[in-house]
Amino acid sequence: MYICHIHDRIMTRLMTIFPAFTAVIMILCSFGVSGSLDSSFKSLDQYIATRDSYVSRKENSIEALKKLLVPSGHGRQDFEICYRLAREYQPYQYDSTLNYIRRCQVIASAKGDKVSRDRCTIFLGLIYTTSGHFFEAYHSLRESIDSTSLDPSLEVEYLQVMLRFTEELEGNSDMTGRFNIPSSGHYRRLILDTITPGSHEWRKVRFGELFSAGEWHKADSLNRLILASLDPSSHEYAINAYNQARVCEMLGDGDGRLQWLIRSAEGDIINAVKDYAALTTIVQDIMHTDVERAFRYLKYCQQDAIFYNAKLRPWQISQFFMDVETAYEARQASNRRQLATAALFLALLTAALIAAIWFMVKHNRKLTHTRKELSEINRQFAESNRKLSRLNAEISEANRIKEEYIGQFLTILSENIDKMRSYDNNVRKMLKQGKSEELLKELSISTKVDDELDNFYRTFDTTFLTLYPDFVEEFNALLNESARITLKKGELLNTELRIFALIRLGIDDSSKIASLLHYSLSTIYNYKVKVRNSSIVDRSVFEEKVRSIGTTF
């Protein structure tokens, strides 16, 4: 009875210690990972999830304006509609903005309306400025316009665009000094001396002056006054919210900065703005603390920048992918350290359990029932170790695949940028040399898309077979001998193998497979049915067997 009492005491203590230790392990494993999403990020995620509805509203507004246009019309009404369309497209799509403002220029020139033509040229200079085309902006604002003969109604607008141009130049150190123009401060003073003191426009320019002078507290008070006068759902509010984030940064208010950046990003989404900075800046702030969210936001930024189709934003965003990869690697290193700490605690627990088992076996050899319980404990512990080993193997495999594909993705991205740069340079060179007919001829016979598709298949085949070198053999082992796939000379994978290679990677949806491989949906379906019909295993588990190919545990 005494021995049984000792045994009960030991088991009671173990049952008390083990849950507490498990809780410690869970806390350690979660330490350093981003905490629960606060209300601001939840709100931003909700806006992002519904952003297609705002884009649809924007498209409907644009389509309604387009319906008012008269084909080949050159009247005043057509000018105003085209100008409104250019304004609608300004933060949404670069090419369409240029298209409609140039159409306005044609209408104004045909009517001999110098005021309207200058108005369009000023607006064109603003578009070039915000998209990073500084030489084109300089040509529009300084060479295409005689500022001394501007209509008085355009003087302030011209000064405001010149202010924006000089600010953008000063914000890009490699462009400073390339243009012989006054500083941004010069244009601020001209505007402040021209417009009504205390007006909304005056406050915005005055804010820029205070900010440039480092008078952060005054700038903060003035910008909050501006924000209070604006509709929180307007694009202008989003712009001033971004300015407020800059002020908070200068005042050392990191939390306030992030809050205002989120408000600015939400305003951009509400107004279907594709040319923005707030969400990209948020990515910079969180990439080291929440790399998954940062990468997700960065993909949205890249999609919008490509849609907007100006050269500045895609180039800026592409720089962040390397930073995200660095943050990801740092996160992986942190996780490995946490795993090592957890393993140490697990080793201590193992030692404690072994000591307890030894003690119980020594003092309870005559207790058959106790021996069976200890045996069961050992079996459960061994099973836990096997599960842990299996989990570690799965984590290692997943990390290896992720790192392999991230490396391939970055390589392909870099190569595509080089190809685009080379192609643009070649097109620009031929256009400058007046070889437009040769260029058109070259474009008409170009096999670039087919070459890129072949290169995509080759890259995919090589990468996949590096990860799963025995895939073809193991896949054929699932088929009837007569239906097994024999590759042609020089082939790494064929269409059927690529389809099931994507299934091995976890992509089950036929429409996604068709999109990735550039085949029709019916082709994918037919291949899948044909292969499943030739399987030596049950059709219902065939794809599950494919997903287990290459598994070593």
For residue 286, which of 260, 326, 332, 324 has the smallest C-alpha distance?
A: 324
Average pLDDT over residues 503-516: 90
Q: Which of residues 393, 420, 444 is at a domain's end?
A: 444
In a domain, 334, yes or no: yes
pLDDT at 11 over 80: no
394: confidence class by pLDDT, cuts 50, 70, 90: low
Residue that wins the pLDDT comparison between 430 and 461: 461
- Co-location of 515 and 424 in the same domain: no
Measured CA to CA, the distance from residue 163 to residue 207 in angstroms comes to 13
Determine the pLDDT at residue 24: 41
Determine the pLDDT at residue 31: 39
Measured CA to CA, the distance from residue 286 to residue 322 in angstroms comes to 15
pLDDT at 409 over 60: no
- Co-location of 504 and 540 in the same domain: yes
Render pLDDT for 172-192 as a digit per residue (tens, 0 to 9).
756 666 788 899 999 999 999
- Co-location of 440 and 464 in the same domain: no
Query: What is the CB-side half-sphere exposure of residue 479 using CA atoms within 13 A?
Result: 23
- Co-location of 429 and 467 in the same domain: no
pLDDT at 388 over 80: no
- Co-location of 464 and 440 in the same domain: no
CB atoms within 10 A of CB 128: 24
**Is the Cβ–Cβ distance between 310 and 275 less than 8 Å?**
yes
What six digits make up the tokens of 450? 């087919």
38: confidence class by pLDDT, cuts 50, 70, 90: confident
pLDDT at 356 over 80: no
Measured CA to CA, the distance from residue 332 to residue 33 in angstroms comes to 11
pLDDT at 10 over 50: no
Q: Domains in the chain: how many in total?
A: 2
* 5-14, 129-138, 173-182, 344-353: range with lowest mean pLDDT: 5-14
CB atoms within 10 A of CB 379: 10
Render pLDDT for 59-99 as a digit per residue (tens, 0 to 9).
999 999 999 887 766 788 899 999 999 999 999 999 999 99
In a domain, 132, yes or no: no
- Co-location of 427 and 465 in the same domain: no
- Give the 3-state secondary structure of residue 535: strand
* 9-18, 116-125, 145-154, 334-343: range with lowest mean pLDDT: 9-18
SS (H, E, C) 481-517: HHHCCCCCCCCCCCHHHHHHHHHHCCCCCHHHHHHHH
Average pLDDT over residues 295-324: 77
**Per DSSP, what are the bridge partners of residue 535?**
479
Q: Which of residues 444, 468, 495 is at a domain's end?
A: 444
pLDDT at 23 over 60: no
In a domain, 107, yes or no: no
Residue 489 burial (10 A CB sphere; 0-12, 13-18, 19+): exposed
Determine the pLDDT at residue 247: 96
- Co-location of 383 and 480 in the same domain: no
pLDDT at 12 over 90: no
Render pLDDT for 227-268 as a digit per residue (tens, 0 to 9).
999 999 999 999 999 999 999 999 999 989 999 999 999 999
pLDDT at 540 over 90: no
- Co-location of 331 and 423 in the same domain: yes
Residue that wins the pLDDT comparison between 414 and 397: 397
Vertex 464 angle, CA 458 and 466, to 5°: 100
Mean pLDDT of the chain: 82
pLDDT at 158 over 90: yes
Tell me the chain's radius of gyration from C-alpha atoms.
32
Render pLDDT for 25-35 as a digit per residue (tens, 0 to 9).
444 444 333 34
- Co-location of 417 and 508 in the same domain: no
In a domain, 203, yes or no: no
In a domain, 493, yes or no: yes
Measured CA to CA, the distance from residue 356 to residue 287 in angstroms comes to 46
Determine the pLDDT at residue 2: 42
Q: Which of residues 444, 471, 504 is at a domain's end?
A: 444
In a domain, 379, yes or no: yes
In a domain, 344, yes or no: yes
In a domain, 358, yes or no: yes
Determine the pLDDT at residue 412: 65
- Residue numbers of the domain that contains 412: 2-31+327-444
pLDDT at 6 over 60: no
- Co-location of 512 and 537 in the same domain: yes
* 285-294, 402-411, 417-426: range with lowest mean pLDDT: 402-411
pLDDT at 281 over 70: yes
- Co-location of 436 and 464 in the same domain: no
Determine the pLDDT at residue 397: 65
Render pLDDT for 464-485 as a digit per residue (tens, 0 to 9).
898 899 999 999 999 999 889 9
What are the angstrom distances between the C-alpha of 275 and each of 121, 163, 265?
21, 19, 11
Measured CA to CA, the distance from residue 453 to residue 137 in angstroms comes to 37
Determine the pLDDT at residue 550: 82
Determine the pLDDT at residue 60: 95
